[in-house]
Amino acid sequence: MDAQHFAAGAYIVLLSAFAVSVAVSIVLLFFLNRKLKWSIVREKESTAYSRAVLLAQEDERARLSRDLHDTVAQDLRFLMVEVGRICRTEDAATRKKSGAEAVALLSLLLRRVRTTCDYLVPPDFRFRSAREALGQLCHNFSERTGIECSVDIAEAPGCGVLTKEKRLQIFRIVQEGLVNIEKHADAALVSVMFRHNADGSVHAGVFDDGRGFSRRDIPGGDAHGTTLGIRGMHERAALLGGKLELASEPGEGTSLRLSIPPAKGEADDEHTAG
């Protein structure tokens, strides 16, 4: 009887151990399966994001190529013809007039090249504040387009210093807003607003009195009326933990509002002003 009881007890212990091992294995398999699914989802998201970045880069390269072809290349071709005509002209008055026209065209060409460079190369935020960069951006916009652009920038005492990354992303969002206005809005008045509050939160906006638009009528937009440029602005805002709101109606102008909540550790070790 003792041997039978011992055998029965040992069997129960082994059965219990087996049941526990099976249960543990099931739990482990469950979590491993969840982790695998999560990894697959993350990989798909990463692939989709990388594809979107590549497409955005290609789209930007194509845009720059078109801009350079339609402006700089055309101006250079015309200038080449004009210089050839000057060389063949014997009349001094005609030569002087043509030379003045060539100089004016060279000046315009130089401004266009500088505009392209300004768009591609951001300000050096190691030494420039958001106030300075946005002020210069709006000044250049007015000089280039002839559109009146007012700037309203306010920074509260003790608001701290924005990181270089935050300044760059804010700058790019405002810059993209102005580029869209220049291309599509047919606006007469533009205003740019920037607020850096004492609690570290940031609000920025770009507003115009142009033709406005309906989301479904945006050229090159997707089913939601979103272009690569608009998606890029939303992605930049998301990187900052912020929110971007775009509002427009045909004939009512367009407003672009960026809100960034306070964040800890804003202090930047490098010398600059917020």
**pLDDT band at residue 235 under the 50/70/90 scheme:** confident
Contacts of 247-250 with C-beta under 8 Å, sequence gap 24+, read 248/212, 248/213, 248/214, 249/212, 249/213, 249/214, 250/211, 250/212, 250/213, 250/214, 250/217
Q: How far apart are the first and last CA of the chain?
A: 87
Looking at the chain, which residues constitute the CATH 3.30.565.10 domain(s)?
125-260
Report whether pLDDT(273) > 50. Answer: no
| CB count in 10 Å sphere of residue 238 | 12
**What mean pLDDT comes out for the span 247-274?**
75
Check residue 142 and give its pLDDT: 93
Give CA–CA dist 211/100, Å, rounded: 37
Longest dimension (CA), the chain: 132
Report whether pLDDT(24) > 60. Answer: yes
Check residue 149 and give its pLDDT: 96
pLDDT, one tens digit per residue, over 50-83 is 666 666 667 667 767 776 777 777 778 878 887 8
Report whether pLDDT(11) > 80. Answer: no
Q: Which residue has the higher pLDDT, 117 or 152?
A: 152
Report whether pLDDT(152) > 70. Answer: yes
Report whether pLDDT(221) > 50. Answer: no
Provide the angle, in degrees to the nearest 10, between the axes of the packed helices 164-180 and 228-239. 160
Check residue 226 and give its pLDDT: 55
Least confident of 15-29, 94-108, 233-247: 15-29
Which of 20-24, 72-76, 257-261 has the highest average model confidence (pLDDT)?
Answer: 257-261
**What mean pLDDT comes out for the span 174-180?**
92
Quick one: how far is CA 244 from the chain centroid?
11
The β-bridge partners of 189 are 148
Least confident of 5-9, 25-29, 107-111, 201-205: 5-9
Is-above-0.85 flag for pTM?
no
Q: Considering the domain 125-260 in this protein, what is its CATH number? A: 3.30.565.10
Check residue 90 and give its pLDDT: 81
Percent of the chain with pLDDT over 70: 77
User: Residue 205 is inside which H or E element, if any?
Assistant: strand 202-208
Check residue 52 and give its pLDDT: 66
What are the residues whose beta carbons fall under 8 Å from the beta carbon of 248, sequence distance 6 or more? 212, 213, 214, 254, 255
